[in-house]
């Protein structure tokens, strides 16, 4: 049974279909925004810890801060906080890194709630459109006093279009939601592991010099890359 152009035009102007169209635009915008954000804030924490250790060994805290401040990602920002507060003990540094990771996790999870809602709402809106379409189709049978496959099939086919559109929107959006949620969790775990390793590195350096206060002494102007009391 072919769907007549007039019937198709009418169903496209249906309030449910218009709502689905708006939902599809919103879902696409959210997915693109999150893709750009995750790409901009990507980081390799394993390589980052190794490079930070090399910088600290070569030039001390000053060199480490210079390198971490050049890293425009969550890992670099976390390393900056840890190095700027290197005189704190391990427990305090762990608390500091934990609060930072929580803040970053909130940023990564931003808009994911809306994405998940759209994924579920699109499917339900498609079902709603089908139900209302079937009601209208059978109502036409009651009004015209005509029945049979030719009368019912066209109305049902048009009604089912909303379910198809709802699924076409909801399924990809749900996949994107699950992907970004997993990615956000992975980034948080990677940052936590990297923070623990950096805290251990700073703790060992503090133990070697014996005095945490020596770590943040100003570096003499002629030798700005000195370890300033730390031995990595």
Q: Look at the alpha carbons of 98, 101, 106, 112 in this order and tell me if their dihedral is positive or negative.
A: negative
Token match 């999870």: residue?
109
Q: Is the pLDDT of residue 225 over 60?
A: no
Instruction: Say what the pLDDT of residue 36 is.
Output: 97
Is 220 part of a structural domain of the chain?
no
Number of domains in the chain: 1
Task: Identify which has the larger pLDDT, 11 or 201.
Answer: 201
Mean pLDDT of the 11-40 span = 90
Token match 């190794």: residue?
50
CA distance 62 to 228: 8
Is 231 part of a structural domain of the chain?
no
Is 41 part of a structural domain of the chain?
yes
Residue by residue, DSSP assigns 41-76 as T---HHHHHHHHHHHHHHHHHHHHHHHHHT--SHHH
Is 227 part of a structural domain of the chain?
no
Short-list 225, 229, 226, 209, CA closest to 217: 229
Q: For residue 200, what are its two tokens?
A: 């251990």
Is 232 part of a structural domain of the chain?
no
Q: Look at the alpha carbons of 171, 176, 177, 183 in this order and tell me if their dihedral is positive or negative.
A: positive
Is 222 part of a structural domain of the chain?
no
Question: Degrees (nearest 5) of the Cα angle 18, 20, 25?
Answer: 100
Q: How many residues does the chain have?
A: 232
Is 228 part of a structural domain of the chain?
no
The model's pLDDT over 68-127, given as tens digits with 9 standing for 90+, comes to 999 999 999 999 999 999 989 999 999 999 999 999 999 999 999 999 999 999 999 999
Q: Is the pLDDT of residue 17 over 50?
A: yes
CA distance 155 to 153: 6
Q: Are 93 and 199 a contacting pair, CB within 8 Å?
A: yes
Is 161 part of a structural domain of the chain?
yes
């Amino acid at each position: 049974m072919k769907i007549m152009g007039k019937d198709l035009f009418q169903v496209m102007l249906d309030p449910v279909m218009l709502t689905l169209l708006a939902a599809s635009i919103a879902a696409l915008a959210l997915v693109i925004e999150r893709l750009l954000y995750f790409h901009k804030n990507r980081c390799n924490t394993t390589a980052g810890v190794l490079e930070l250790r090399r910088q600290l060994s070569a030039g001390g805290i000053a060199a480490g801060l210079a390198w971490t401040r050049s890293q425009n990602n969550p890992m670099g920002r976390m390393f900056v906080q840890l190095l700027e507060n290197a005189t704190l003990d391990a427990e305090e540094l762990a608390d500091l890194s934990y609060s930072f990771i929580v803040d970053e996790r909130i940023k990564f999870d931003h808009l994911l709630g809306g994405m998940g809602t759209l994924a579920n709402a699109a499917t339900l809106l498609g079902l709603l459109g089908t139900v209302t379409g079937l009601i209208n189709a059978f109502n036409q049978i009651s009004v015209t006093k005509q029945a049979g496959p030719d009368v019912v099939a066209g109305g049902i086919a048009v009604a089912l279009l909303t379910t198809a559109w709802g699924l076409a929107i909801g399924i990809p959006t749900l996949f994107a939601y699950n992907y970004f949620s997993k990615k956000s969790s992975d980034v948080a775990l990677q940052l936590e592991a990297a923070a623990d390793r950096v805290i251990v590195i700073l703790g060992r350096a503090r133990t070697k010099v014996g005095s945490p206060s020596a770590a943040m002494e100003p570096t003499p102007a002629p030798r700005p890359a000195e370890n300033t009391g730390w031995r990595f």
